[in-house]
Amino acid sequence: MKQFKTESKKLLDLMINSIYTNKEIFLRELISNASDAEDKLYLKSLTDSDVKLDQDSLSIRITPDKDARTLTISDNGIGMTAKELERNLGTIAHSGSEEFKAANAEHQGDDVDIIGQFGVGFYSAFMVAKEVKVTTRACGEDVAHTWTSDGLEGYAIEDGQRDHCGTDIVLTLKDDVEGEGGEQGERYSRFLEEWTLKDLVRTYSNYVRHPIQMMVTKSRQKPKPEDAGDDYKPEYEDYTELETINSMTPIWKKSKADVTPEEYNEFYKSTFHDWEDPARTITFHAEGTLEYDALLFVPGKAPFDLYSKDYEKGLALYSSNVLIMEKCADLLPDYYNFVRGIVDSPDVSLNISRETLQQNRQLHAIANRIEKKVTSELEAMRDQDREAYEKFFESFGRGLKFGIYSSYGMKASELADLLLFWSARENKMVTLAEYAKAMPAGQKAVYYAAGDSRDRLAKMPVVKAALDHGFDVLLCTADVDEFTFQAMRQYTAKNLPKVYEDDAAREAVEKAVADGAEPELEDRTLDLKNVASGDVDFASEDEKKEAEEATKENEDLFKGMKDALGDKVTKVAVSARLTDAPAAITSEGPVSLEMERVMAAGPDADQAPKAQRVLELNAKHPVFAKLQAAEKDGDADKVKLYAGLLYDQALLVVGILPDDPVAFAQQVCELM
């Protein structure tokens, strides 16, 4: 018995019990090693005329034996000499494949793709096996050698028997363990079941370039006997047949011209268990310092759990056609968590388990490229197929908005132009860029209203006032909209007609354009303003002056109304923007009415900040004359009644219930 050359027991115990968290990946590791061995033999045949090889003859065989409780993985690859066997398996964490890759780097990709890390992945077999026997015969040698170990202290190497070059790895599986004390047991015998083995191969090694074969049980109808009567019932028999259980050629490695849209759709639906075709298929290949293939899909419909805490984002990550991670979250930003797909790169740096990716610049580089590609594809969908994009945005737009909010506006430049909002004037969904292009020349802000109902927002006095002044308003009904705009603060509109403050300059340019000159364009930064905010100033200068004068003239009235309302409002004033409504509730400060409403529905409602409410009155409305008359008559009770009614009415208009609905109803009855 030879001892392992590294501190065997501690390192081996660490690898078996700590590094690998999923026992079933042992089969992936051993198949990857077998694939490496066959690629090495193929490469040797290209440079050594003595090696005669038909590439189609290369294959990997899986053989379960329930009676002997063994699982055998065989290949007809390059095999190992006694010295290589000693070096590769006698030294834990030594990788013959890694050495081979380094020595033959110029041949990688020439129908040869070494997966690597033989000396590490091999030891995952001890997670399920109590003994491992490796019988191997190197190409060009007449003798075979057998390596045997129980994975504890050491190993033994002796002469073995094998007719041709290649390697047989025989695992004697551990005994099944019954669960105790409510803990789940471990049934190692499942790795001898045909269905389990086929499922593991198709999950982890489906796209290994060499055929993975196994004898499988099938059923067929027996021939009908010649003397069978009319009441004969068909009889069936089981038989075994050698079957290739992996598909070998991944669809993402094929040229896009060689794959039909229907084939992409079927692959998406079968792989990601969706009933609908994807809304967009994205495929690209990167070469250079970093090589990888990517096949991405934008689903046609959001999964039911997309916005739940249990949803897991991520792309399937392959290394040389071998599944490394089913969902690699680092490849997608949170706002593109709906994207599904596959990335396959031989250049991704992996740690020794192949299960946990190191945080490396290769992975970040791939993620950055994927993000840019998804963004450009969504922009293309927005511009080329608006109907499809609006359907996409209905399902996934909330996540894009949240991406701006959660990044504190840092991602606004990448995501803002992907957003859609309902235009109160156009009665359709528009982008911020489309809103900006349709603005009047002097408009300096993007106006929006936020609430829970588009119909209610459209009827709000402040929205109607904006429309009456010629300004469009975006009606925002998603709970994240207000927070998104607060995080953005501003939007830079590109290529807008240049605004000239000087009348002479403007007239000169207008004349030049009339004579055929190209109009001058500019990028303009626009503030994002809630029309229910107290600092919105779309009223004309004359309207503002009238409002200021009316406020001064009615100071006593407003003081009485403020006293009646108490701390419900910060002030009462005349509005410069209302046209036909008697009153409106607006807000001052960083917290809007919509933000207050959303936060009040959250888990920390008691601690949620409140909006600083302002009751704005329309001095031209008949109700205002009633208020003036009550104040002039010294009827403080009537002023108090009117103030409460107007305040509660204004709240109802914006979708907020009065603090005391019963009292509001009683006040209406009193007035009647």
- pLDDT tens digits for range 535-580: 777 777 888 888 888 888 888 898 999 998 999 999 898 888 887 8
Residue 96 confidence (pLDDT): 46
Q: What is the mean pLDDT of residues 488-501?
A: 86
Residue 237 has a CB neighbour count (10 Å cut-off) of 9
What is the predicted pLDDT for the residue at 115?
38
Token pair recorded at residue 45: 């045949």
Sign of CA dihedral 601, 602, 607, 608: negative
Range 240-259 burial, b when 16+ CB lie within 10 A, else e: eeeeebbeeebbbeeeeeeb
Mean per-residue pLDDT of the chain: 85
| CA distance linking residue 519 with residue 278, whole number of Å | 42
Q: Which pLDDT value is given to residue 47?
A: 80
Greater model confidence, 52 or 562: 562
Residues 6 or more apart whose CB falls under 8 angstroms from that of 346 comprise 108, 113, 291, 292, 319, 320
Q: Is 355 helix (H, G, I), strand (E, B) or coil?
A: coil
Q: What is the CATH number of domain 2-215?
A: 3.30.565.10
pLDDT value of position 605: 65
- Cα separation, 660 vs 132, in Å, equals 77
Which pLDDT score, from 0 to 100, does residue 63 have? 97
H or E element in which residue 541 lies: helix 541-553
Statement: residue 492 has pLDDT above 60: yes
pLDDT value at residue 69: 97
Rounded CA-CA distance 587/528 in Å is 15
Q: Is residue 107 predicted with pLDDT exceeding 90? A: no
Task: Output the pLDDT for position 533.
Answer: 85
CATH architecture of structural domain 251-390: 2-Layer Sandwich (3.30)
Q: Token digits for 272? A: 């990601």
Report whether pLDDT(377) > 90: yes
Residue 354 has a pLDDT of 45
- Report the range out of 159-168, 261-270, 314-323 with the highest average pLDDT: 159-168
pLDDT at 289: 80
Instruction: Provide, rounded to the nearest whole percent, the portion of the chain with pLDDT above 90.
Output: 41
- HSE-up (13 A, CA, CB side) for residue 351: 11
- Mean pLDDT value of segment 196-222: 92
Is 297:341 a contact under the CB 8 Å cutoff? yes
pLDDT at 104 over 80: no
pTM score over 0.85? no
- Mean pLDDT for 593-598 is 81
Nearest to 165 by CA among 97, 98, 76: 76
Domain positions in the chain are 2-215, 251-390, 420-530, 541-671
Cα 111 to chain center, whole Å? 33
Nearest to 128 by CA among 50, 4, 41, 24: 24
Q: How far, in Å, CA of 630 to CA of 632, rounded? A: 5
H runs (alpha helix) in 460-537: 461-468, 481-488, 503-514
Helix (H) or strand (E) holding 42: helix 26-47
Asked whether the predicted pLDDT for residue 230 surpasses 50, the reply is yes
Cα distances from 305 to residues 83, 309, 315, in angstroms, run 54, 8, 17
Q: Is the pLDDT of residue 93 over 70?
A: no
pLDDT at 43: 82
Report pLDDT for 15. Answer: 61
The pLDDT tens digits of the residues spanning 425-474 come to 999 999 999 999 999 887 889 999 998 889 989 988 889 989 988 999 99
Are 491 and 604 a contacting pair, CB within 8 Å? Answer: no
Query: Does residue 294 register a pLDDT over 80?
Result: yes
For the chain, the first-to-last Cα distance in angstroms comes to 104
Amino acid residing at 70: T
Q: What is the pLDDT of residue 19?
A: 59
Beta bridge partners of 496: 522
Give alpha helix (H) positions in 297-384: 361-384
Q: Dihedrals φ, ψ of 214, to 5°?
A: -155, 145
351 — pLDDT class (breaks 50, 70, 90): very low
| pLDDT, greater one: 224 or 153 | 224
Q: Please tell me the predicted confidence (pLDDT) of residue 109.
A: 47
The whole-number pLDDT of residue 10 equals 59
Architecture of domain 541-671: Up-down Bundle (1.20)
Residue 18's pLDDT is what?
59
Q: Is the dihedral of CA 370, 376, 379, 380 positive or negative?
A: negative
Characterize the bridge pairing of strands 474-476 and 445-450.
parallel
In degrees rounded to 5, what are phi and psi of residue 276? -105, 155
Give the whole-angstrom CA distance, residue 54 versus residue 213.
Answer: 17
Structure tokens at 43: 């490469």
Architecture in CATH of 420-530 = 3-Layer(aba) Sandwich (3.40)
220, pLDDT greater than 70: yes
**Stronger pLDDT, 298 or 53, i.e. the higher one:** 298
Confidence of residue 27 (pLDDT cuts 50, 70, 90): very high
Which has the closest alpha carbon to 35: 94, 75, 93?
A: 75
Strand partners, 475: 422, 449
Entry field: residues in the chain: 672
pLDDT band for position 46 (cuts 50, 70, 90):
confident
Q: What is the pLDDT of residue 313?
A: 92
What distance in Å separates the CA atoms of residue 422 and residue 415, rounded to the nearest whole number? Answer: 17
| Confidence bin at 112 (pLDDT 50/70/90) | very low
Task: Print the SS3 string covering 132-173.
Answer: EEEEEECCCCCCEEEEEECCCCEEEEEEECCCCCEEEEEEEE
292-306, 507-521, 599-613, range with greatest mean pLDDT: 292-306
Residues 6+ apart with CB under 8 A from 401: 415, 419, 478, 480, 481, 484
Cα–Cα distance between 599 and 602 in angstroms, integer?
5
> What pLDDT score does 541 carry?
81
Q: At which residue do the structure tokens 């551990």 appear?
A: 174
User: Taking phi first (over 0 means left), then psi (-120 to 50 degrees means alpha), and beta for anything else, what does residue 325 get?
Assistant: beta
Query: Angle at CA 171, nearest 5°, toward 165 and 177?
Result: 170
Confidence band of 108 (pLDDT split at 50, 70, 90): very low
Average pLDDT on 355-377 reads 80
Q: What is the pLDDT of residue 20?
A: 62
Band of residue 116 on the pLDDT scale cut at 50, 70, 90:
very low
State yes or no: pLDDT of 510 exceeds 60.
yes
Tokens 């002469």 locate to 159
